[in-house]
Homo-oligomer: A and B are copies of this chain.
Amino acid sequence: MDARAYIEAHGDEFLTSLKEWLAIPSISADPERHDDVRRSARWLADHLTETGFPTVEVWETPGLPAVFAEWRAADPAAPTVLVYGHHDVQPVDPLEEWETEPFVPTERGTSLYARGSSDDKGQVLFHALGVRAALAASGADAPPVTVKLLVEGEEESGSVHFAELMKANRERLACDVAVISDTTMWAPDTPSMCVGMRGVTDVEINLFGPGRDLHSGSFGGAVPNPLKIMSDLLSGLHDADDRVAIPGFYDGVVEASAQERELIARLPFDEEEWLATAASTAARGEKGYSTLERVWLRPTAEINGMWGGHTGAGGKTIVPRSAHAKISFRLVPGQEPLEIQDRVREYVEANTPDGITAELEFGGPGVRACASDLSSTALKAARSAMGRAFGKEVLFTREGGSGPEADIADILEAPLVFVAVGLNEDRIHAPNEKVEMPLLLKGAESAAYLWEELGAAKDA
């Protein structure tokens, strides 16, 4: 039986299992749901055992548990693949906006509605089906590559213990490639692979001026106003071409290849539709780049919030004592978050005049960007596998957002390949999250072909 036939035959069974798992409200950010997160880990461990994984373990952390599973290839020379996903889910607020209960999985048309259906339980579980399909296709009792699964339980609350967990288990997690199934593809009829994610680092800038709010009649125009200095600082973040103007910000940036830009340009991107999604009436960004390039390939400085002085009703003629802003920087390959933090610190220091003191608070060490090696065997195999499953050429995308994936690449010293079938319209992190059931089956099929192609590649 070939992989597709196996998956078609076992699709209902797969969906029944998935609904069972989705009924567990594994919200890692809610302490009252931590027992459910643990229950979710045990459910997955049991399911992987049933699937046939010879090794299945629940790995405890100081927080919530991850699940590890391993199924070795018969051939010890076969490559090892590590699949990353997560079994915890986002909170469900505002609950009243859900059309059906978030933890009562409900089919409507081709969609399955439930919190976690797309992010990320559906995309984790298709690997269990995929590995069985690969076995059915080969007739063997072990997969053509060694498959390891690492499914964490704290992704939606910052992956706070995940790096430590990987470091502590570096040997057991050793792999030739890490397959990430926690992103999206372009559209149901436009299969694509994410080939990179932006990193991020964020800072809160606090400027202090006069020791108290001053009457602007008596002092205005004669002492430095922290809000004015903050405006200068923030306005100076970008030049007239909307490039980030912090000296050294672009040092080391690895530009995307012509091939990648060409594959991105071929995506059926509708700027008007994108603007509607963005609830915006105009696009704006770094000169010389398209909208998709701006959100995927280019680093940014974004002001997320600011405040200071009188913000209530009516007027209050003061020189305020302080000004505050929160800024996040999206980063691309070649930028180190800690070095960017140094550049930000230098920029603020250089632009803080007499009479103003600046305090910077960085939100942790930040997250590095990551990108696939487009010329690697693994990437080519994954692109071919998805292409076979979907019967179409697979284009490239990136994600503008950031995740723990760069850590996986760094700690496990493995290249990353993203194989995912979620859609941007799946409303992850929002009410009425759903996943397309036919795409989950295509995901399983892609995985089956990927193990087959990678197994074959080592013989090549």
Contacts and interface: CB of A to CB of B under 8 A. Distances in A.
Nearest to A309: B305
Given A279-B212, A295-B221, A310-B304, A317 B202 contact: yes
B309 A326 contact: yes
Interface string A266-310: 000000000100111111111000010011001010111111111
Given A210-B279, A317-B200, A220 B302 contact: yes
Given A281-B355, A282-B353, A326-B310, A305 B227 contact: yes
B280 A216 contact: no
B294 A222 contact: yes
Contacts of A220: 295, 300, 302, 328, 330, 400
Contact of A221 (B234, B235, B298, B356): B298
A52 interface: no
Contact of A278 (B210, B228, B234, B295): B210
A100 interface: no
A280 B223 contact: yes
Given A217-B400, A291-B222, A284 B353 contact: yes
B302 A222 contact: no
A228 B222 contact: no
Contact of A307 (B217, B283, B307, B400): B307
Given A227-B304, A228-B238, 8 more contacts: A204-B315, A215-B401, A216-B302, A219-B280, A222-B284, A228-B237, A231-B235, A231-B303
A118 to B, nearest CB: 15
A198 interface: yes
Given A283-B355, A314-B363, A222 B305 contact: no
Contacts of A319: 302, 304
21 contacts: A200-B217, A216-B328, A217-B295, A218-B424, A221-B285, A221-B298, A221-B400, A222-B284, A223-B283, A228-B235, A231-B231, A234-B235, A235-B235, A279-B321, A284-B355, A302-B319, A304-B316, A305-B309, A306-B308, A307-B308, A310-B326
Interface size class of A (residues with CB under 8 A): 35 or more
A438 B227 CA distance: 42
A118 B149 CA distance: 78
B353 A295 contact: no
A353 B284 CA distance: 9
Contacts of A291: 222
Interface in A385-411: 399-402
Which of A295, A302, A309, A321 has the most chain B CB within a 10 Å cutoff? A302
Contact of A303 (B225, B284, B286): B225
A306 B309 contact: yes
A318 interface: yes
Given A222-B291, A295-B221, A309-B303, A210 B314 contact: no
B307 A306 contact: yes
Given A302-B216, A305-B310, A402-B217, A280 B328 contact: no
A304 B320 contact: yes
A324 to B, nearest CB: 7
Interface string A339-361: 00000000000000111100000
A290 B269 CA distance: 58
Contacts of A215: 401
A278 B218 CA distance: 9
A60 interface: no
A223 B277 CA distance: 11
Nearest to A303: B227
Contact of A306 (B227, B283, B294): B227
Which of A231, A309, A363 has the most chain B CB within a 10 Å cutoff? A231
Nearest to A212: B279
A311 interface: yes
A209 interface: yes
A143 to B, nearest CB: 34
Nearest to A403: B217
A355 B283 CA distance: 7
A210 B363 contact: no
Top 4 nearest A-B pairs by Cβ distance? A217-B401, A282-B355, A211-B279, A221-B300
A160 interface: no
A196 interface: no
